[in-house]
Every structure is written in C-alpha cells, then in structure tokens.
Amino acid sequence: MKKNTLIIALTLCLAPLAAYATPSTQIWIPSTDVQKYKSVHLNVDNYVSSEKEAAGNWKAPLLMIGPTVGVLPYEKVKAEVGFDLMRSGLAADSDPLYLHAKIGTPEGAAFAGSPAFALGGYNFGTKKDVTDQNVVYGLAARNIAKLGRFSAGYFSGNDKVLLDEKGKKANTGLLLAWDRTISEVSDKLWVAVDYQGGDSALGALNFGLAWAFTPDTSVIFGYDVYNNDKIAGANTYTVQLDINLW
C-alpha cells in the first residue's frame, strides 16, 4: 500500500473520533472556562449519526467518558487537566486514552475590561500518528451586555493525522463561538453555536442547548454539521452529560 493511501485510510478510520477528549467546552470547541481548584468534573458524551452514509451503512456511534480536575488555587489564573476514554467500534479503540489540559484567566483578570484568555491542548492520544491529534489552541472570549459571550481563537494539530480526504494537511483553523444563558426563560437554559475550521474530521459547525437540572448536573443536546463529510462522515446528534462530582 502506498504511503499516501495508508495515511488516508488511517484518517478515514479516525473520522468518528472528530469529537475529542474534552476540556471545558462549548458544544464542540474548547471554551475559556476552566474548572475551579480541586473540583472534579465528569463528562459523558455520545455522538450518533443523523443519517446513513453514502454506502447505506450507519456510522458507528461514539461514546466518550472522562474526568477534568481543577489544579491551580488562584482566582486570576486557573488550570485543569483530564483524560477521556473513547469507543467508536473501530481499530483505534485499542488505544482509547486521550489527554487534555488548559490554563486560563477570567474576564477582567489581565486588565480592566480584558477578555478571558485560555491556552490548552486536547486529543493527545497514545498511538503515534494514529490517535495523537495533539491539538493546541488559544482562545479569547468576552461577554457583551445582553448579547451573550463571543469567543475566537485558533488551533493547530498533528499534520500526520489531521488530514483531508486526499491526504493533504488540514491541521489548522479558526475556533469561533457564541453562547448565552437565556435568563428571560430560565437561568437553567443555555444555548450556543460554535465552529471549528478545517477539512479534517475536527472541522464542524455545531448548534445546541443545555438544561441545568441541578447546580451540578446539566445535559447538552446538540447537532453537528461537518465541514467535510468525505472525511468526517454523516452529521451527528450529540447528548452530553456534565456532572460536577465535587
């Protein structure tokens, strides 16, 4: 098998892993939110195909579960680390561990009126040039009165893994998001739209809403529209359970 053909085959196998080892996120992309010191957050995420593939088959569902822990005892600089286990019914399941970490500052911490900032990485897999997407990113976010919070940033990952359907590098791109608590209805209701650029399996436009059943338990319901269905496959529905254990 030629090298380019092998690379494309591996990338197609990883397509259902477009959902990633999750730092604190919006629906799909990371957010500037960071877990507070000593808190332990558990996420349980499911991604299910919305339709059959062109060949008439259903894309395998993805299940992802893992903790995120706050590790810095400061108000103006926070950090979190965590891992996830992913299962999608493919060969990559033999190496299911993915790591993530983030450091960030809340709004107003850098200077009066400053946006929130975050630097981090995710999808640090354990199998070289197969699961090690190794995405690093920077983000800034700002709340604007009643309009909600606007986020923008950029990411870069492993150019041996994040490829398009032709085996070309697709490892960089924009990160954009808008989110808002719909307090006019209920302080428990939150909505968001986010976007990750590029033609790899990570590129997607995502819509969703969340309901906080308790102060420590919420569920996100979302829909993911992939930038490149030739590499990522059919669009997906997602249900994400978030629990603050302590």
Coil, strand or helix at 130: coil
Cβ pair 207, 190 in contact under 8 A = no
- The tally of domains found in the chain comes to 1
- Alpha-carbon dihedral sign for residues 156, 158, 162, 166: positive
Among 12-21, 24-33, 79-88, 120-129, name the one with the lowest average pLDDT. 12-21
Summarised one tens digit per residue, pLDDT across range 133-158 is: 999 999 999 999 999 999 999 999 99
Q: What is the pTM of this model?
A: 0.88
Cβ pair 208, 191 in contact under 8 A = yes
pLDDT confidence of residue 89: 73
238 pLDDT higher than 60: yes
**CA-wise closest residue to 47 among 159, 153, 198, 202:** 202
What token pair was written down for 27?
């629906």
Summarised one tens digit per residue, pLDDT across range 57-110 is: 888 889 999 999 999 999 999 999 999 999 887 777 889 999 999 999 999 999
pLDDT confidence of residue 23: 63
Residue 77 is part of which domain span?
3-244
126 pLDDT higher than 70: yes
Q: Which long-range contacts (CB under 8 A, 24 or more apart) does 53-59 make?
A: 53/233, 53/234, 59/15, 59/16, 59/233, 59/234, 59/236
Q: What is the CATH number of the domain that holds 116?
A: 2.40.160.40
